[in-house]
Amino acid sequence: MTPDTKIARIHALEVLDSRGNPTVEVDLWLAGGALGRAIVPSGASTGKHEALELRDGDSARHDGKGVLRAVANVNEIIAPQLIRTSLDATNQRGVDELLRTLDGTHDKSKLGANAILGVSLAAAHASATALGIPLYQYLGGELANELPVPMVNIISGGEHSAWSIDFQDFLVIPVGATSYSEGLLWCRAVYQATSRLLTQRNLLPGGVADEGGFGPRLSSNEDALGLLVDAIDLAGFKAGVSRDLAIGIDVASSEFHQDGKYTLHTEERELSSSEMVRLLKAWVDQYPIISVEDGLAEDDWEGWQQLTESVGSRVQLIGDDLFTTNPGRLQMGIDRQAANAVLVKLNQIGTLTETLEVVSTAQRAGFMPVISARSGETEDTTIADLSVATGAGQIKIGSLTRSERLAKYNQLLRIEDQLGRRATYRGREVFARFIA
């Protein structure tokens, strides 16, 4: 018997994310009884071109960060409309188009991207449950079998770590591993080795940063690179693009860019766009870096073009704040030959359909999509399935600690186990274009 997949009931609730801040959870039931649940993440270092995350602004409650308005928009506006139209939840495009029409703004500021995304994702989860198949198969079809290469956060700075250093993430990437699970094992060994090194050097911080990485106070941003190379060696691996583990960095430069200058507070100096490009090129020359994210600020198009021309044939250049998972922004980058990869965050654009469009646009243009979590995360594991469904090849979740991160890493382990011999992992092949 074909399951009844018409939307029957929707209920939203205010819950808490990994920083203890409110966020939106949505339960969506289908007429046949299937339930789909989604919890919306939240960013700290957000791009100004992102869809709007609707907050209450009531300083007497959750310091103004409450999401009761977004919750009410789901329960009082979105739910009645979706139920009244008898929409089939498997018509994801139709669901998302109606959500966008109900909002009617370019940045989803009327209803809130957090309200809209919760419903969009819950519909997909409910549909997969009704059909009795995993979410990655529902979204990607029976041929979806590629596990992503994890980009694992080891050292944190910037907005995520009380500005212990200026650059936001220093990550390890297991390019030489032969499977997802082996790559995860290697990254865990490096994380533990980093802890030992920081203890030896009397630099171990009292806690971890928003995404679980260590946030030591170093004398320079470059010190984090040396620390990672040492940790890889201590863990018994070889650092290198053609060896075991390569390095990725997330500069998050929009966070310290003002009036045309990049201010590195750790080193007490200011850099122009050209000087930032030269700094990053020098690091690429000296260290086993295969990926640089947000090396220039979100509207510094000239700087991005210069960086792409300088090192774009040798490393992955990811636009996060630059593109904000927005099809129009991504097309601008493609047309201007600025960057060669895009970070994909569901809540930056606000619907599953638009997210999938960004991934497919990137892939058609030869840009590399990297599925990503946010600094304010939850136990929701949608992005793990999304990475497999789209064959993106890479995922950026955070570090190997804190349950909101491990929920996604563990979901990918489950998917790898479910796929069995059909599971694939490209490893270094993902970055083949950058390896001479």
Identify whether the C-beta of residue 210 lies closer than 8 Å to the C-beta of residue 44: yes
Q: How far apart are CA 374 and CA 372, in angstroms?
A: 7
Q: How far apart are CA 312 and CA 277, in angstroms?
A: 11
**The token pair that represents 295 in the structure block:** 């090396």
DSSP per-residue codes, 252-296: -GGGGEETTEEEETTTTEEE-HHHHHHHHHHHHHHS-EEEEES-S
Tell me the HSE value of 385 on the side-chain side, using a 13 A CA sphere.
19
Q: How far apart are CA 301 and CA 37, in angstroms?
A: 39
Q: What are phi and psi of 106, to 5 degrees?
A: -75, -25
CA dist list (Å): 133 to 109, 129, 250, 404 = 34, 6, 35, 24
Q: How far is CA 167 from the centre of its chain?
A: 17
Which are the catalytic amino acids?
211, 345
Q: How far apart are CA 37 and CA 170, in angstroms?
A: 32
- DSSP 3-state assignment of 372? strand
Residue type, 357: E
246-250 and 169-173 strand pairing: antiparallel
**The token pair that represents 237 in the structure block:** 């691996």
Identify whether the C-beta of residue 50 lies closer than 8 Å to the C-beta of residue 163: no
Which of these, 89, 92, 88, lies nearest to 140 by C-alpha position?
92
- DSSP 3-state assignment of 354? helix
**The token pair that represents 122 in the structure block:** 């819950």
CA dist list (Å): 304 to 82, 90, 309, 329 = 42, 39, 9, 13
